[in-house]
Amino acid sequence: MKIIHAKDYDDMSRKVANLISAQVILKPKSVLGLATGTTPIGAYKQLIDWYHKGDVDFAEVSTYNLDEYRGLSGDDPQSYRYFMNHQFFDHIDIDKDNTHVPDGTDLDVEHACKSYDQLVKDAGYVDLQLLGIGRNGHIGFNEPADAFSKGTQCVDLTPSTIEANSRLFDNPDDVPRQAYTMGVQTIMQARMIVVAATGADKAQAVHDMIEGAVTPQCPASILQLHTNCWVVADAEALSLC
């Protein structure tokens, strides 16, 4: 793993956006794996700004998001599809047909998971996968478990993730209890991985990801085995390393 030290959230966001824009400039038909959460919002803002300045464009890019709440439609303001449209896709020249998020409205778990896996496979897997990290070391919605997941799966969210994500909902009871997530094996198939983290509440997870044992109890720890994984983090997030 290579560590890039960022001064603060804005600096982290610029550095992550730099890595993504370099990828897209070098390969206009890039397949990007994208993430939700508050961490990547600044990087998306920076990329939108550079797009408007003519520094980068997304006309040929395709994207595959990590996860989606099971049961939410893309029109639901709490869905990750809605998040991606509003935080990023609506503001750049990407062809929306080339943007993909697991289908939260498909309640047939096997069908929803298999069809998302097929889409990612047909795209030739991801060139650059952007990841945030959960406080318990989850990536996407791959929660601590007894084994690393492979393809897309439906997961029961842990109480700590429900609690962490409830800040984005008006009523904590509205946080969905299940989600579809790309599996760890698929994430590891990305040719480059960029993990973004800021803030003291991520310090333990960042420590366990970088220096801990490789274990499914900390799903992000498997990234130690990836040969092209970059962690962009601020001093607080790196304070236990």
The footprint of ligand GLP (CB under 6 A) covers 35-39, 66-67, 132-134, 140-141, 161, 165
Catalytic annotation on 60?
A: no
**Closest separation in Å from C-beta 54 to ligand GLP:** 29
Q: Pick between residue 38 and residue 185 the one whose CB is nearest to ligand GLP.
A: 38
236 among known catalytic residues: no
Q: What angle do CA 136, 81, 179 make, to 5 degrees?
A: 40
- Give the position of tokens 């044992």: 213
Q: Which is nearer to ligand GLP, 4 or 41 (CB)?
A: 41
**H/E element holding 26?**
helix 9-26
Nearest distance, CB of residue 139 and ligand GLP, angstroms: 7
CB closer to ligand GLP, 55 vs 220? 220
Based on the residue annotation, tell me whether 106 is a catalytic residue of this protein.
no
- Report, in Å, the least distance between residue 167 CB and ligand GLP: 9
Closest CA to 136 of 232, 204, 37: 204
Please tell me which residue in 65, 103, 127, 138 is annotated as part of the active site: 138
In whole angstroms, how close is the CB of 219 to ligand GLP at the nearest point?
11
**Measured between alpha carbons, how far is 75 from 3 in angstroms, rounded to an integer?**
37
Q: How far is the CB of 230 from ligand GLP (least distance, A)?
A: 16
Q: Is 113 helix (H, G, I), strand (E, B) or coil?
A: helix
Which residue lies nearer to ligand GLP by CB, 27 or 73? 73
* Alpha-carbon distances, residue 63 vs 57, 75, 124, 127 (angstroms): 14, 19, 12, 10
In whole angstroms, what is the distance from residue 21 CA to residue 28 CA? 10
Rounded-to-10 torsion of CA 87, 93, 98, 102: 0
Catalytic residue among 100, 103, 117, 136: 136
- Output 53 or 79, the one with its CB closest to ligand GLP: 79
- The answer to whether 67 is a known catalytic residue is yes
Q: What are the φ/ψ torsions at residue 143 (nearest 5 degrees)? A: -80, 160
| Catalytic residue ranges | 67, 136, 138, 143
